């Protein structure tokens, strides 16, 4: 099932857990009450961008007559799918983890005042919208208050609380929740996923697309590797400098996310022995045994530090120094086992 995650991202079909939200929106459309601004929120990996793409296609589809779905075959649908439709513009950070700046928003607003190139509506998608910096978000306000005719602005975010209240309140909210286990399992099985489905779903917090990505990557293995590093550091069995250097070889954002998952597991194991829905159930129990001296407060403190570093990442922190700090903080939280 290689590359299925990549393919699914650009399909225009409706994901099974999205049918209710879709029906509501189409109902509004038939009644002539289609919103000019939408905020699609929900956890990472439930298909928010797919939903936005399908919506964009349905609004420009050449065979559309206020039906329930884009045809997926016409020229307009094909252009939306390949990201090349002139009336469906996407705005994302230039690099993952970076901010969307005001110039980019101004360019988008400039384009929104042009007339449509084909029949249908212009659809502007900003994803992830929480990457907008404060000035860029404020620049959107006027467009949200006086939307250009025949246009729809779609904000996509898994962290909508990071958007200014003034922006959120001007958008119609479409909120997705973690998907029910049965539905997620069936969907993954239909794509050909095998025995690892349960572990991937647990690791992805019930988000099927995130689970699919895990199944197709070596992310689970890498996270297990990080846990092993923490284990060895706690037992003083490894050179801290070489661990920090190893961690710095990969993008800091990814490493911080891995570290946070491992720490969450550890925290849950300490708070509720036998806790369920762990990222790495087996290994987390091992780590718990190895760091008996660490307390829950220490874990929370370390998680706070990870969150703080993550927020400051866009300020060009040196990755080498960042990882050294994380390693030394971990060492001061753990005590080597006495024999
Ligand atoms: Zn079509």
CATH of the domain at 92: 3.40.50.300
Summarised one tens digit per residue, pLDDT across range 98-157 is: 899 999 999 988 877 666 655 668 899 999 999 999 999 999 998 898 888 888 999 999
**Greatest alpha-carbon span in the chain:** 76
Q: Domain for residue 101, yes or no?
A: yes
Dihedrals phi, psi of 123, to nearest 5 degrees: -125, 120
Residues 210 and 240 both lie in one domain: no
- pTM greater than 0.85 (yes/no): no
Check: CB of residue 266 under 8 Å from CB of residue 302.
Answer: no
Q: Domain for residue 105, yes or no?
A: yes
Summarised one tens digit per residue, pLDDT across range 161-200 is: 999 999 999 999 999 998 998 999 999 988 887 777 877 8
Q: Which domain holds residue 197?
A: 181-215
Task: Out of 70-74, 164-168, 214-218, 308-312, give the one with best mean pLDDT.
Answer: 164-168
CA 152 to centroid of ligand 1, rounded, Å: 18
Q: Domain for residue 338, yes or no?
A: no
CA 176 to centroid of ligand 1, rounded, Å: 25
Q: Domain for residue 225, yes or no?
A: yes
CA 284 to centroid of ligand 1, rounded, Å: 48
Between vectors from CA 100 to CA 96 and to CA 101, what angle results, nearest 5°?
140
DSSP type of residue 152: E
Residues 27 and 159 both lie in one domain: yes
Residues 159 and 34 both lie in one domain: yes
CA 81 to centroid of ligand 1, rounded, Å: 10
Q: Domain for residue 339, yes or no?
A: no
Pairing label, strands 122-126, 151-157: parallel
Distance of CA 71 to the CA centre of its chain: 28
Residues 138 and 28 both lie in one domain: yes
Residues 129 and 261 both lie in one domain: no
Residues 168 and 227 both lie in one domain: no
Q: Domain for residue 163, yes or no?
A: yes
The secondary structure of 83-138 as a DSSP string is T--TTEEEE--SSTTPPBPHHHHHHHHHHHTSPPSSSS-EEEEETTGGGB-HHHHH
Give long-range contacts, CB 8 A cutoff, 24+ apart: 18-26. Answer: 18/47, 18/51, 18/176, 21/51, 21/174, 21/176, 22/51, 22/54, 22/68, 23/68, 25/55, 25/174, 26/58, 26/68
**What total number of domains does the chain contain?**
3
Q: Domain for residue 155, yes or no?
A: yes
């Amino acid at each position: 099932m290689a590359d299925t995650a990549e393919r699914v991202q650009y399909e225009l079909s409706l994901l099974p857990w999205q049918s209710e939200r879709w029906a509501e929106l189409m109902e509004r459309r038939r009644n002539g009450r289609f919103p000019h601004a939408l905020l699609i929120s929900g956890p990472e990996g439930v298909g928010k961008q797919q939903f936005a793409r399908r919506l964009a296609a349905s609004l420009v589809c050449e065979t559309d007559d206020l039906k329930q779905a884009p045809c997926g075959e016409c020229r307009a649908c094909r252009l939306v799918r390949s990201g090349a439709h002139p009336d469906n513009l996407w705005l994302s950070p230039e690099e993952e983890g970076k901010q969307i700046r005001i110039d980019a928003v101004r360019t988008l607003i400039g384009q929104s005042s042009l007339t449509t190139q084909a029949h249908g509506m212009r659809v502007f998608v900003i994803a992830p919208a929480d990457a907008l910096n404060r000035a860029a978000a404020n620049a959107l306000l006027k467009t949200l208050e006086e939307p250009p005719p025949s246009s729809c602005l779609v904000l996509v975010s898994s962290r909508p609380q990071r958007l200014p209240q003034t922006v959120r309140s001007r958008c119609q909210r479409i909120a997705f929740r973690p998907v029910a286990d049965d539905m997620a399992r069936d969907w993954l099985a239909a794509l050909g996923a095998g025995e690892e489905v349960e572990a991937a779903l647990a690791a992805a917090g019930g988000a099927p697309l995130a689970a699919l990505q895990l199944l197709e990557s070596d992310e689970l293995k890498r996270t297990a590797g990080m846990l092993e590093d923490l284990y060895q550091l706690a037992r003083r069995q490894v050179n801290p400098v070489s661990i920090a250097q190893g961690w710095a070889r990969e993008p800091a954002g990814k490493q911080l996310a891995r570290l946070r998952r491992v720490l969450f597991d550890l925290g849950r194991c300490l708070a509720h022995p036998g806790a369920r829905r762990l990222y790495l159930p087996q290994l987390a129990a091992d780590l718990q045994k190895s760091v008996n001296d660490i307390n829950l407060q220490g874990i929370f403190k370390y998680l706070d530090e990870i969150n703080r570093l993550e927020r400051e990442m866009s300020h060009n922190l040196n990755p080498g120094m960042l990882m050294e700090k994380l390693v030394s903080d971990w060492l001061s939280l753990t005590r080597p086992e006495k024999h």
